[in-house]
């Protein structure tokens, strides 16, 4: 914000000040100073940007993660598949182990397996069917169907299904089992590597007595409710318990991070603008760059604060931030700013942490009405983020040099 030169009649200009404007509530000041300390720490962190960029050259995603919710590790054997389809697969409930695995189309042999909440995965990296078949789910759906045979007799399920009258997008018929997968379950099957992780349908979908629309598949059991969406039955948990496998959580290895999907995306480290250093030679000095929309604060030649700012839009001379050598002339904890620029009246109440650096109404001040710092936004003042402004107000006494460069 900026005061029109024609409206100046004292060092306060024509800004209106209410009786409460000369003080800030103590709790607000404490909170602001705390925020400023956080910003100060952040700004110092920004000084290490170039070192961080150098470290980024050797970045690599983790090959194993620790899933804290269940206390187990997923390593490179199943990590990629689990990450891609974890809402179907669920969290790991056992550690990896070896076991004889019988899978259709591949030799029965000892393989690496791991049980998850909804499925159990087996590694088949010697399979010649391609990378999509490097990991498959065990036939826990078939096992569950066998276990539930007596219960399901009450449901009077059809022996087979048909896609008559439905498009291929809405229904698929599996000749091997004589059953279909339709509509929402089909979309889910298609999106979740259905052949390897869900398997062929063993029943048609039906509404179970518990209210869930349910369908049994070779490797999973899918359930749906209107207010829940599709939720797989926890076959992995049930099977691990049935087979008396240890599901006790394990200690997190020192070299294995806790799972967070952000670990798999190379960090983007922004390079902050480099400041010119103090220019006027004062013990404290503020330097603002209009072209970079950035500010640096120096104390005894050391950078102690930096931030993106918003200077004048420069649409007319009245809304252009002046360049040159200045200093903090007056300070006000809060002011209501109003005036007329280019024939338009404006009024912004309770502008915080105001520090005038010239006699034309240009000031450094806090800005609560936008968060678009790094872009010209003001009538000529230097808009600061609120926490930066709070810190600056306490740090810069009257007389502090302010240098504005192009």
Please list, in sequence order, all residues whose beta carbon lies within 8 angstroms of the beta carbon of residue 139, skipping any fewer than 6 positions away.
199, 218, 219
Beta strands at 229-232 and 284-289: parallel, antiparallel or unpaired = unpaired
Mean pLDDT of 113-119: 95
Round to whole Å and give the CA distance between 292 and 274.
Answer: 10
Residues near 72 by Cβ (< 8 Å), separated by ≥ 6?
A: 66, 91, 92, 93, 94, 95, 249, 250
- Regarding predicted confidence, which is higher, 270 or 274? 274
Query: How far apart, in whole angstroms, are the C-alpha atoms of residue 187 and residue 167?
Result: 13
Q: How far apart are the first and last CA of the chain?
A: 19
Q: Are strands 401-405 and 284-289 parallel, antiparallel or unpaired?
A: parallel
Mean pLDDT of 85-106: 86
180 burial (CB, 10 Å; 0-12 / 13-18 / 19+) is: buried
**What is the pLDDT, as a whole number, of residue 256?**
94
pLDDT band at 267 (very low <50, low <70, confident <90, very high): confident
Rounded to the nearest 5°, which phi and psi values hold at 386? -60, -45
283's tokens: 């013990």
Whether 121 has a pLDDT exceeding 80, the answer reads: yes
Which of the residue ranges 2-6, 12-16, 106-110 would you say has the lowest mean pLDDT? Answer: 12-16
Helix (H) or strand (E) holding 46: helix 26-46
pLDDT score of 58 more than 90: no
Residue 111 confidence (pLDDT) above 90: no
Tell me the average pLDDT across 96-108.
Answer: 78
pLDDT band at residue 399 under the 50/70/90 scheme: very high
371, 385, 403: which is closest to 296 by C-alpha?
403
pLDDT tens column, 296-343: 999 999 999 999 999 999 989 889 999 999 999 999 999 988 888 877
CA distance 266 to 59: 7
pLDDT band at 6 (very low <50, low <70, confident <90, very high): very low
Looking at residue 266, its pLDDT comes to 87
pLDDT at residue number 46 = 36
Give 47 or 348, the one with higher predicted confidence: 348
Distance between CA atoms of 373 and 375, rounded to whole angstroms? 5
Residue at token pair 């952000």: 262
Contact between 167 and 247 under an 8 Å Cβ cutoff? The reply is no
Q: How confident is the model at residue 57 (pLDDT cuts 50, 70, 90)?
A: low
pLDDT over 60 (residue 42): no
Domain ranges of the chain: 5-53+271-405, 64-264
In terms of Cα–Cα distance, which of 214, 237, 250, 243 is closest to 120? 237
Report the pLDDT value the prediction gives residue 128, as an integer from 0 to 100.
53
- Cα 129 from Cα 150, distance rounded (Å): 37
pLDDT of 143 > 50? The answer is yes
* Mean per-residue pLDDT over the chain, rounded: 83
CATH of domain 5-53+271-405: 2.40.440.10
The strand order across the sheet containing 120-123 reads: 97-101, 109-115, 120-123, 135-137
Is 206 exposed, middle or buried, given 0-12, 13-18 or 19+ CB atoms closer than 10 A? middle
Q: What is the pLDDT of residues 366-385, one digit of tens each?
A: 999 999 999 999 989 999 99
Distance CA 340, CA 86 (A): 59
pTM score over 0.85: no
Look at residue 29 in the predicted model and tell me its pLDDT. 35
Written as six digits, the tokens of 167 are 């498009």
The DSSP symbol for 199 reads -
What percent of the chain lies above the pLDDT cut of 90?
58
**Per-residue model confidence as pLDDT tens digits over 180-226:** 999 889 999 998 889 999 999 999 999 988 889 999 999 999 999 88
pLDDT of residue 31: 37
pLDDT value of residue 154: 83
Q: Has residue 33 got a pLDDT over 80?
A: no
pLDDT of 39 > 90? The answer is no
Reported as a pLDDT band with limits 50, 70 and 90, residue 389 is: very high
Q: Tell me the mean pLDDT in the region 9-18.
A: 30
Please state the rounded mean pLDDT for residues 68-94.
Answer: 93
Q: Kind of pairing, strands 382-384 and 363-366?
A: parallel
Residue 176 structure tokens: 């091997």
Taking the C-alpha atoms of residue 206 and residue 212, their distance in angstroms, rounded to an integer, is: 8
Helix (H, G, I), strand (E, B), or coil: what is residue 385?
coil
User: What does the longest C-alpha to C-alpha distance in the chain come to?
Assistant: 94
What's residue 54's pLDDT?
37
């Amino acid at each position: 914000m900026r005061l029109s030169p024609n409206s100046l009649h004292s060092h306060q200009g024509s800004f209106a000040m209410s009786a409460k404007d000369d003080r800030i509530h103590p709790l607000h000041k404490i909170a602001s100073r705390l925020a400023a300390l956080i910003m100060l720490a952040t700004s110092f962190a920004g000084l290490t940007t170039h070192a961080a960029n150098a470290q980024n050259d050797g970045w690599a995603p983790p090959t194993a993660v620790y899933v804290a919710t269940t206390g187990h590790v997923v390593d490179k054997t199943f990590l990629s598949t689990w990450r891609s389809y974890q809402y179907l697969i669920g969290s790991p409930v056992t550690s990896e182990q070896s076991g004889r695995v019988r899978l259709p189309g591949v030799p029965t042999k000892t393989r690496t397996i791991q049980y998850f909440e909804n499925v159990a995965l087996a590694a088949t990296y010697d399979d010649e069917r391609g990378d999509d078949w490097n990991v498959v789910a065990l036939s826990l759906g078939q096992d569950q169907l066998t276990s539930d045979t007596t219960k399901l007799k009450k449901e009077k399920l059809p022996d087979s299904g048909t896609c008559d009258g439905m498009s291929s997008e809405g229904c698929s018929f599996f000749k091997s089992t004589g059953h279909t997968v339709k509509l929402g379950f089909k979309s889910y099957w298609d999106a979740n590597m259905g052949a390897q992780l869900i398997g062929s349908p063993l029943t048609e979908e039906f509404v179970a007595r518990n209210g869930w629309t349910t369908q049994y598949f070779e490797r999973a059991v899918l359930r749906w409710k209107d207010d829940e969406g599709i939720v797989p039955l926890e076959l992995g948990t049930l099977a691990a318990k049935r087979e008396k496998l240890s599901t006790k959580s394990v200690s997190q290895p020192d070299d294995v991070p806790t799972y967070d999907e952000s670990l798999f995306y190379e960090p983007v480290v922004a390079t902050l603008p480099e400041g010119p250093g103090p220019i006027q030679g004062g013990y404290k000095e503020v330097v603002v760059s209009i072209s970079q929309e950035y500010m640096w604060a120096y104390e005894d030649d050391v950078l102690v604060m930096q931030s993106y700012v918003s200077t004048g839009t420069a649409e007319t001379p009245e809304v252009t931030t002046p360049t040159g050598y200045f200093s903090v002339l007056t300070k006000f904890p809060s002011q209501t700013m109003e005036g007329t620029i280019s024939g338009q009246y404006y009024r912004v109440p309770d502008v915080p942490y105001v520090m005038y650096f010239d006699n034309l109404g240009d000031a450094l001040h806090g800005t609560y009405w936008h968060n678009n710092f790094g872009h010209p936004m003001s009538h000529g003042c230097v808009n600061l983020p609120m926490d930066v402004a709070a810190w600056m107000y306490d740090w810069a006494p009257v007389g502090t040099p302010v240098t504005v460069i192009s």
